[in-house]
């Protein structure tokens, strides 16, 4: 039986390595994570929400009765203003 030695991977050019290291050491200039230049408003992130069964069923009922609004949309419409309000309070307090 013949044994094959694993082939070595080609090494990236030195400039790619140095560029990678420099990027890791770079400090972010934005004050808050949502102000980073890497944040894109067209990217949607998934966040699971645990709800008590009765609240879930109420949300589902609303969504079923308002055919143009999904459960996700209802939650997003409710939570975005709350997040902005809480951020304003937090930032105004100097934290």
What tens digit of pLDDT does each residue of 4-36 get? 776 777 766 777 777 777 666 666 566 899 999
- Residue 8 token pair: 């070595």
What pLDDT, on the 0 to 100 scale, is given for residue 29? 64
- The answer to whether residue 41 scores a pLDDT higher than 70 is yes
- Residue 70 token pair: 């999904």
Cα–Cα dist 34/89, whole Å:
17
- The answer to whether residue 89 scores a pLDDT higher than 60 is yes
- Residue 12 token pair: 């990236």
Q: Minimal CA–CA distance to 38: which of 47, 48, 28?
A: 28
């Amino acid at each position: 039986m013949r044994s094959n030695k694993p082939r070595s991977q080609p090494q990236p050019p030195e400039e790619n390595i140095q560029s990678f290291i420099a990027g890791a050491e770079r400090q972010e200039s934005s004050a808050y994570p949502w102000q980073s230049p890497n944040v894109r408003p067209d990217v949607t992130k998934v966040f699971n929400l645990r709800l008590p069964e009765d609240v879930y069923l109420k949300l589902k009922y609303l969504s079923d009765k308002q055919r143009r609004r999904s459960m996700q949309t209802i939650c997003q419409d409710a939570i975005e203003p709350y997040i902005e309000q809480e951020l304003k309070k937090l930032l105004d307090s100097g934290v």
